[in-house]
Amino acid sequence: MKIFAVPTTMVPRTELSLIQDALPEGYEVAIGSGGLYSIRFLHFGVICAYANIKNGQVHLTSIEEGHVKYEAERFMKALAEKYPTENPDREVWQIFVPRRGSFYSFGQSHFELMEDALAQAFGFTNEANGAFLCSFRQGDLLTGEPFRTLSSHKLEVTEDCIHSGRNDGPMLINLKSL
């Protein structure tokens, strides 16, 4: 017996197979052309979302209007169950530093816990003074547009501590890269 082992990275995959594998159970790729695919709920045959491949990621967009809205919401919930760390509605944290009418962040794009984001500020104490510790929806970062935070706490740096003030409520973040 001879064995011929081909690395999976060498086997080309179609966009259709990538999208189908990304879907939660009970959904399938219905039709597609030109890089845009329709997603169907198998039980009722309703098209509830569209999918495409962009920047090495499967982008799934639910249809939020008309009679399919309910099925689209179920689809998004099923995606959140299958990929909990990618849920766009999940609350995450980051420190935003004001600069020339916009904001920038330091460290990774977001943190799971407020404490982790605050700990990141200890490496940037000069920038942290007057910055804002904010919670927001993870999906807000995907749009590239200004977004409203869920909470904001102005930071104050003293000799050996970083204090987060009281929650000042939501604020508008216009994020720029350095």
Is the Cα dihedral 7, 53, 94, 100 positive or negative?
Answer: positive
Query: Do residues 69 and 52 both lie within one domain?
Result: yes
Query: Do residues 103 and 49 both lie within one domain?
Result: no
Q: What is the pLDDT of residue 158?
A: 85
Query: Do residues 77 and 98 both lie within one domain?
Result: no
User: Whole-structure pTM over 0.75, yes or no?
Assistant: no
Q: What is the pLDDT of residue 148?
A: 94
Q: What is the pLDDT of residue 177?
A: 64
* 96, 101, 102, 106: CA torsion to nearest 10: -40
Q: What is the pLDDT of residue 163?
A: 78
Residue 178 lies in a domain: no
Mean pLDDT by 10 residues, the chain (178 residues): 73 86 93 87 89 88 87 92 89 91 84 90 82 92 87 88 85 80
Q: How far apart are CA 82 and CA 86, in angstroms?
A: 9
Q: Name the residue range of residue 108's domain.
A: 91-173
Query: Do residues 74 and 120 both lie within one domain?
Result: no
Query: Do residues 47 and 107 both lie within one domain?
Result: no
Query: Do residues 75 and 132 both lie within one domain?
Result: no
Q: What is the pLDDT of residue 178?
A: 46
Residue 58 lies in a domain: yes
Query: Do residues 56 and 98 both lie within one domain?
Result: no
